[in-house]
Structure 1
């Protein structure tokens, strides 16, 4: 575990903090597609990603989901931090975008380290700022961009976690993430295929070229 933590966080945290993380942290492997956090759940520890990626979603009263942002290795989830520090129930859902490895830090240490380590305090504040910027981008996309533009942004983000330019999502899953209908997504994907941007396969999309 030490090697993975140092690889991802040695440039951020002091050596003493790295040692403490190793002492109190719990290593966890999460398979792709597994739900890691549910809405309404109390959070007792926060994740530090070592490998993989996690997507964070919001759900409305009708059960429709909206993709908020992704967490990658070397990062954490600011909304999880908020729930931990304020002892609130989770308002988000977290799902592994790919096979993911992380270390879980107990909530008690989070508060202690805020006053003990400058690097931890800066890491937490920077995480809040980065996630806020991403949330504002989501608001801009929803408010000002058409669905075809939102779909292109979605496919570009998905490519970041694909090693072979194959996006393994159904039309219905994409519709859930973008908070729209499967019919709309299927129509837009057909248009992208006609234009030579993608090739549609059963339950997957092969990206040829996207600007």
Structure 2
């Protein structure tokens, strides 16, 4: 596990910080489609992603969800950092997009390391910056793209984080992630196939333009 930690974070953190993370971090593995952080739950640990991808979703008062962004190896989640600082409940849900390996670091260490390690401070600030950019992109996508453009971007993003141009996902799952109906998704998928952007297969969608 120390090798995975160094591979993903060694270019960011000094040796002493890597050793501290290794000594106190709790190693966990999750299968794909597992909820690891739920809405309205208190955050007690900061995740450091070693392998795989995590989907971050926002849920409205009716229980409908919208995908905001993905986390990949070498990332952490700025929303969990904010919840730790403010001691507030989570406003998002985190679901594993693929099988995932991560380290859970106690939230108390976040502030300790901010004053102790410059590299940790830079990592946290960069994480906030990256997630803010992704939030802005998510807002822009909803505000300025048509649903067919949003759908194709969703498929491309999903293919990229899975490192596979063939995606195993149902029309209903797509509809849930994009906060629309399955009928609309099915119609737009057929349109994208006619445009040569995707190929529909049994239980698979192949993205032809990545």
The TM-score bracket by the shorter chain reads over 0.9
Whole-angstrom distance in 1 between the partners of 2:95 and 2:168: 15
C-alpha deviation, 1:195, in angstroms: 2.5
| TM-score of the pair, normalised by structure 2 | 0.97
Superposed CA RMSD in Å reads 1.1
Is 1:210 equivalent to 2:209 in the alignment?
A: yes
Q: Please state how far the C-alpha of 1:85 moved relative to its aligned partner.
A: 1.6
2:33–2:98 Cα contact (<8 Å) kept: yes
- In the alignment, does 2:91 pair up with 1:91? yes
Cα distance, 1:163 vs structure 2: 4.1
TM-score, normalisation: structure 1: 0.96
Count of residue pairs brought into register by the alignment: 210
Does the alignment pair 1:148 with 2:148?
yes
Using the TM superposition, give the Cα deviation of residue 199 of structure 1 relative to its aligned residue in structure 2, in angstroms: 2.1
Match of 1:42 in 2: 42
CA offsets 1:99-155 (integer angstroms, 9 cap, x no match): 000000001111110111100011001100110011001111111111011111111
Following the alignment from structure 2 to structure 1, what is the Cα–Cα distance between the partners of residues 191 and 168? 19
What are the Cα deviations for residues 53-74 of structure 1, in whole angstroms up to 9, with x where unaligned? 0010000011110100100000
Q: Does residue 128 of structure 2 align to residue 128 of structure 1?
A: yes
- Partner of 2:161, secondary structure, is coil
Q: Cα offset for 1:5?
A: 0.4
CA contact (8 A) 2:47 2:102 kept: yes
Offset at 1:203? Answer: 3.0
Q: Does 1:29 align with 2:62?
A: no
Q: Any idea what the Cα deviations from partners look like across 1:10-53, whole Å, max 9, x if unmatched? A: 10011100000001001000101111111000010010000000
The answer to whether 1:195 aligns with 2:188 is: no
Runs of 4+ in 1 over 6 A off after TM superposition: none
Bigger Cα displacement from structure 2, 113-122 vs 159-168: 159-168
- 1:116 corresponds to: 116
Structure 2 match to 1:107 = 107
Secondary structure in 1 matching 2:162: coil
Q: Which residue in the other structure is 1:80 paired with?
A: 80
Counterpart Cα distance in 2 of 1:49 and 1:106: 14
Structure 2: runs of 5+ lacking an equivalent: none
